[in-house]
Structure 1
Amino acid sequence: MSSTPATSPRVVVIGAGIVGCSLADELTARGWDDITVLEQGPLPAPGGSTSHAPGLVYRTSPSKTLSAFAQYTVEKFSALRADGQSCFNAVGGLELATTPERWADLHRKAGLAASWGIEGEIIGPDACLKLWPLLDRDRVLGGFHTPGDGLARSLSACRAQTERAVARGARFLDRTTVTGIEQRGGRVTGVTTDRGSFAADLVVSAAGFWGPVIGRMAGIGIPLLPLAHQYAKTTPLAELAGVNNPRTEASRPILRHQDRDLYFREHTDRIGIGSYAHRPLPVDAFAVPRYDEAPAMPSSYPFTEEDFAPSWEDCKTLLPALAHTRVDEGFNGVFSFTPDGMPVLGESSALRGFWLAEAVWVTHSAGVAKAVAEWMTDGRASLDLHECEVSRFESAQSSPAYVEERAARQFIEVYDVIHPLQSMEQPRPLRVSPFYARQLRLGAHFLEGGGWERPHWYEANAGLAATEQLPTREPWSARHWSPIAAAEARATREKVAMYDMTPLRRLEVTGPGALDFLQHMTSNNLAKKPGSVTYTLLLDETGGVLSDLTVARLAEQHFQLGANTPADLDRLLDHAPDDVHIRDITPGTCCIGVWGPLARDLVQPLTRDDLSHQALGYFKALRTHIGHVPVTAMRLSYVGELGWELYTTADLGLRLWDTLWEAGRPHGVIAAGRSAFNSLRLEKGYRAWGHDMTAEHNPYEAGLGFAVRMNKGDFIGRDALVALGEPTRRLTALTLDDPAAVVLGKEPVYVNSGGCAAGYVTSAGYGYTLGRCVAYAWLPPLAPGTPVHIEYFGEKTAATVVEEPLFDPKMTHILK
Structure 2
Amino acid sequence: MPVPPSKARVVIIGGGVIGCSVAYHLTKLGWKDVVLLERKQLTSGTTWHAAGLIAQLRATANMTKLARYSQELYGNLETETGVATGFKRCGSITVALTDERREEIYRQAAMARAFGVDVEEISPKEVLEKYQHLNIEGVTGAVYLDKDGQGDPANIALAMAKGARQGGAQVLERTRATGVTRAGRRITGVDWAQGEETGHIACDMVVNCGGMWGHEVGRMLGVNVPLQACEHFYIVTEAIEGLKQLPVLRVPDECAYYKEDAGKILLGAFEPNAKPWALDGIPADFEFDQLPEDFDHFEPILEHAVNRMPMLAEAGIHTFFNGPESFTPDDAYHLGLAPEMDNVWVAAGFNSIGIQSAGGAGMALAQWMNDGEKPFDLGDVDISRMQPFQGNKTYLAERSKETLGLLYADHYPYRQKATARGVRRTPFHQHLKDRGAVMGELAGWERANWFAGPGQTPEYEYSWKRQNFFDNVRAEHMAVRENVGMYDMSSFGKIRVEGRDACAFMNHIGGGQYDVPVGKIVYTQFLNQRGGIEADVTVTRLSETAYLVVTPAATRLADETWMRRHQGAFNVVITDVTAGEGVLAVMGPNARKLLQAVSPNDFSNAVNPFGTAQEIEIGMGLARVHRVTYVGELGWEIYVSADQAAHVFEVLAEAGSDMDLKLCGMHMMDSCRIEKGFRHFGHDITAEDHVLEAGLGFAVKTDKPDFIGRDAVLRKKENGLEARMVQFRLTDPEPLLYHNEPVLRDGEIVGYLSSGSYGHALGGAMGLGYVPCKGESAADVLASSYEIDVAGTRVKADASLKPMYDPASERVKV
TM category, shorter: over 0.9
2:232 counterpart SS class: strand
TM-superposition CA deviations, 1:146-189 (whole Å, max 9, x none): 11111133333323322332232211111112211222333211
1:137-148 equivalences under 5 Å are 137-148=136-147
Gaps of 5+ in 2: 1-6, 774-779
Q: Which amino acid aligns with 2:236?
A: K
- Residue pair 2:497, 2:573 contacting (<8 A) in 1 also: yes
TM-superposition CA deviations, 1:31-85 (whole Å, max 9, x none): 221100111223xx44121111121012223233432221111121122215475
| Residue 394 of structure 2 is aligned to residue 383 of structure 1 | no
CA distance 1:777–1:30, change in 2 (3 Å): same
Question: Corresponding residue for 2:702?
Answer: 710
Question: Corresponding residue for 1:102?
Answer: 101
- Residue pair 1:237, 1:322 contacting (<8 A) in 2 also: no
TM-superposition CA deviations, 1:64-107 (whole Å, max 9, x none): 34322211111211222154756521111111223333223221
Question: Corresponding residue for 1:640?
Answer: 632
CA distance 1:515–1:282, change in 2 (3 Å): same
- Residue pair 2:271, 2:404 contacting (<8 A) in 1 also: no
| Residue 398 of structure 2 is aligned to residue 398 of structure 1 | no
Q: Distance in 2 between matches of 1:153 and 1:541?
A: 40
Question: Corresponding residue for 2:53?
Answer: 56
Q: Distance in 2 between matches of 1:510 and 1:278?
A: 48
Q: Which amino acid aligns with 2:616?
A: T
Moved more, 426-435 or 124-133: 426-435
Question: Corresponding residue for 1:743?
Answer: 737
Question: Corresponding residue for 1:469?
Answer: none
Q: Which amino acid aligns with 2:794?
A: K
CA distance 1:277–1:595, change in 2 (3 Å): closer
Match of 1:728 among 722, 725, 729: 722
Q: Distance in 2 between matches of 1:271 and 1:583?
A: 56
CA distance 1:338–1:490, change in 2 (3 Å): same
Question: Corresponding residue for 2:274?
Answer: 280
Alpha-carbon offset, residue 279 of structure 1:
4.6
Question: Corresponding residue for 1:305?
Answer: 295
- Residue pair 1:786, 1:800 contacting (<8 A) in 2 also: no
Alpha-carbon offset, residue 785 of structure 1:
5.5
CA distance 1:298–1:236, change in 2 (3 Å): closer
1:498 counterpart SS class: strand
- Residue pair 1:481, 1:675 contacting (<8 A) in 2 also: no
**Aligned-residue CA RMSD in angstroms?**
2.2
CA distance 1:462–1:670, change in 2 (3 Å): farther
1:483 counterpart SS class: helix
| Residue 523 of structure 2 is aligned to residue 535 of structure 1 | yes
Alpha-carbon offset, residue 236 of structure 1:
1.1
Match of 1:545 among 509, 515, 533: 533
Alpha-carbon offset, residue 228 of structure 1:
1.6
1:772-787 equivalences under 5 Å are 772-781=764-773, 783-784=781-782, 786-787=784-785
CA distance 1:629–1:479, change in 2 (3 Å): same
Match of 1:485 among 456, 473, 480: 473
1:550 counterpart SS class: strand
CA distance 1:474–1:271, change in 2 (3 Å): closer
Match of 1:423 among 413, 416, 429: 416
CA distance 1:483–1:18, change in 2 (3 Å): same
TM-superposition CA deviations, 1:102-134 (whole Å, max 9, x none): 223221221221232211111012221221121
Q: Distance in 2 between matches of 1:34 and 1:777?
A: 43
Question: Corresponding residue for 2:320?
Answer: 330
CA distance 1:87–1:24, change in 2 (3 Å): farther
Question: Corresponding residue for 2:588?
Answer: 596
| TM-score normalised to structure 2 length | 0.92
Q: Distance in 2 between matches of 1:559 and 1:550?
A: 10
Match of 1:569 among 560, 571, 581: 560
Moved more, 299-308 or 372-381: 299-308
Q: Which amino acid aligns with 2:539?
A: V
Q: Distance in 2 between matches of 1:307 and 1:664?
A: 53
Question: Corresponding residue for 1:515?
Answer: 503
- Residue pair 2:43, 2:154 contacting (<8 A) in 1 also: no
Match of 1:365 among 358, 368, 371: 358
- Residue pair 1:543, 1:721 contacting (<8 A) in 2 also: yes
Q: Distance in 1 between matches of 2:279 and 2:189?
A: 23
- Residue pair 1:462, 1:484 contacting (<8 A) in 2 also: no
Q: Distance in 1 between matches of 2:499 and 2:650?
A: 35
Alpha-carbon offset, residue 289 of structure 1:
4.3
1:700 counterpart SS class: coil
- Residue pair 2:8, 2:35 contacting (<8 A) in 1 also: no
| Residue 256 of structure 2 is aligned to residue 229 of structure 1 | no
| Residue 445 of structure 2 is aligned to residue 448 of structure 1 | no
Moved more, 534-543 or 159-168: 159-168
Alpha-carbon offset, residue 568 of structure 1:
0.4
| Residue 799 of structure 2 is aligned to residue 796 of structure 1 | no
Q: Distance in 1 between matches of 2:551 and 2:31?
A: 35
Question: Corresponding residue for 1:812?
Answer: 810
- Residue pair 1:26, 1:373 contacting (<8 A) in 2 also: yes
Question: Corresponding residue for 2:426?
Answer: 433
Question: Corresponding residue for 1:191?
Answer: 190
Moved more, 383-392 or 272-281: 272-281
Q: Distance in 2 between matches of 1:88 and 1:220?
A: 35
Alpha-carbon offset, residue 299 of structure 1:
4.5
CA distance 1:277–1:239, change in 2 (3 Å): farther
1:216-295 equivalences under 5 Å are 216-240=219-243, 243=244, 251-277=245-271, 279-284=273-278, 287-289=281-283
Q: Which amino acid aligns with 1:804?
A: K
2:336 counterpart SS class: strand
Question: Corresponding residue for 1:678?
Answer: 670
TM-superposition CA deviations, 1:372-422 (whole Å, max 9, x none): 112211122223122222221223433211112112210122201121311
Match of 2:622 among 630, 641, 645: 630
- Residue pair 2:722, 2:772 contacting (<8 A) in 1 also: yes
- Residue pair 1:457, 1:482 contacting (<8 A) in 2 also: no
Q: Distance in 2 between matches of 1:581 and 1:438?
A: 34
Q: Distance in 1 between matches of 2:712 and 2:638?
A: 37
Question: Corresponding residue for 1:768?
Answer: 760
Q: Which amino acid aligns with 1:21?
A: C
1:688 counterpart SS class: coil
Gaps of 5+ in 1: 1-7, 244-250, 464-472
| Residue 685 of structure 2 is aligned to residue 693 of structure 1 | yes
Q: Distance in 1 between matches of 2:710 and 2:86?
A: 42
Question: Corresponding residue for 2:76?
Answer: 79
Q: Which amino acid aligns with 1:569?
A: E
Moved more, 333-342 or 627-636: 627-636
- Residue pair 2:726, 2:770 contacting (<8 A) in 1 also: yes
CA distance 1:587–1:278, change in 2 (3 Å): closer
Q: Distance in 2 between matches of 1:84 and 1:354?
A: 31
- Residue pair 1:9, 1:201 contacting (<8 A) in 2 also: yes
2:397 counterpart SS class: helix
1:145-224 equivalences under 5 Å are 145-195=144-194, 196-224=199-227
- Residue pair 2:92, 2:248 contacting (<8 A) in 1 also: yes
Moved more, 305-314 or 627-636: 305-314
- Residue pair 1:49, 1:299 contacting (<8 A) in 2 also: no
Alpha-carbon offset, residue 695 of structure 1:
0.7
Q: Distance in 1 between matches of 2:137 and 2:486?
A: 54
CA distance 1:304–1:494, change in 2 (3 Å): closer
Question: Corresponding residue for 1:466?
Answer: none
Q: Distance in 2 between matches of 1:393 and 1:383?
A: 19
1:34-73 equivalences under 5 Å are 34-42=33-41, 45-73=42-70
CA distance 1:528–1:395, change in 2 (3 Å): same
Question: Corresponding residue for 1:503?
Answer: 491
Q: Distance in 2 between matches of 1:461 and 1:316?
A: 46
